[in-house]
Amino acid sequence: MIRLRGSTLPVTGSGQELVARKNLLIESARVSAIHCQSLSIEYPGGTRAVDKISLKVNPGEIISLIGPSGCGKTTLLRLMAGLEQPTEGTVGLDPPVQVDAGGIAFVFQQPSLLPWRTAIQNVVLPLDLIGKGSPSNRRELAFELLRTVGLENAATRFPAELSGGMRMRVSIARALVTDPHVLLLDEPFAALDDMLRNQLGQLLLELWGKRRFTVVMVTHNIAESVLLSQRIAVMREGTLASVLENPLPHPRNEDIRATVGFGEFYGRVSRALRGE
């Protein structure tokens, strides 16, 4: 067996194919910092969705963007992803990555799975699009990710046959299959009930613990941001109001919600959102 970064794959195939499979897993072993410098975007009519934001996201860090609706959280995330172009300022990754080679992964609020493809076919899709690995390598990696998120028995099901939580787990597996340097999450658990939300938050922490990719997550949920993040960036009217360091230790699980430290930091974040 080959064991790499917490994953196990069976040793089968020719020597050349085994080397290719190993390289596919370790090729993107680095993670990237994100640098935003005086970043702004202005839409027609003069609306500034993001206004002169400077923020560094450290490599291997989880940071949450939190604030009221319309404050620019998702727009800032899209600027980081290269899905929007700034009017002023710069945003960049260090070290740089190839977006079209799977260096950045984006998980939207809705899973957006292709209904005519099975779970494993949806997870394989990013590898097909960038032409990474042989078809057999791609399928093995996709199955390994489904196993990691607890869906190995649902690999051949179509999205309509999966629950909302299962579809989101497929979406997370699809995002991670290229072994990205940076994972961007736009309220991925917002539409789920509290139990599923907590389960998927814990799954994210476990996956991050194994791979240590850089994570930026948009959320409205204070408890979620406190549980998952090393820092919390509070936004207001397109600006960065404050950045709070999370004092809670790692590793974390749901039990930490009952601690005094969790409650105290929750209160700090709540007060920052109110502008106190």
Q: Could you tell me how many residues make up the chain?
A: 276
The answer to whether residues 171 and 191 touch, using CB atoms and an 8 Å cutoff, is no
Express as a percent the part of the chain with pLDDT over 70: 87
Express as a percent the part of the chain with pLDDT over 90: 52
- Range 153-184 burial, b when 16+ CB lie within 10 A, else e: ebbeebbeebeebbbbbbbbbbbbbbbbbbbb
Structure tokens at 49: 């969705």
* Average pLDDT score, the chain: 84
Alpha helices per DSSP H over the chain? 15-26, 73-81, 119-130, 135-148, 164-176, 194-211, 222-228, 260-273
Q: State the Cα–Cα distance between residues 7 and 150, nearest whole angstrom.
A: 14
List of residues 6+ apart from 264 with CB closer than 8 A: none
Q: What is the pLDDT of residues 171-184, one digit of tens each?
A: 989 988 888 889 99
Structure tokens at 235: 């936004």
**254-263 mean pLDDT:** 94
CATH number of 58-82+97-273: 3.40.50.300
pLDDT for res 89: 94
pTM for this predicted structure: 0.83
8-state DSSP, 103:
S
pLDDT for res 99: 60
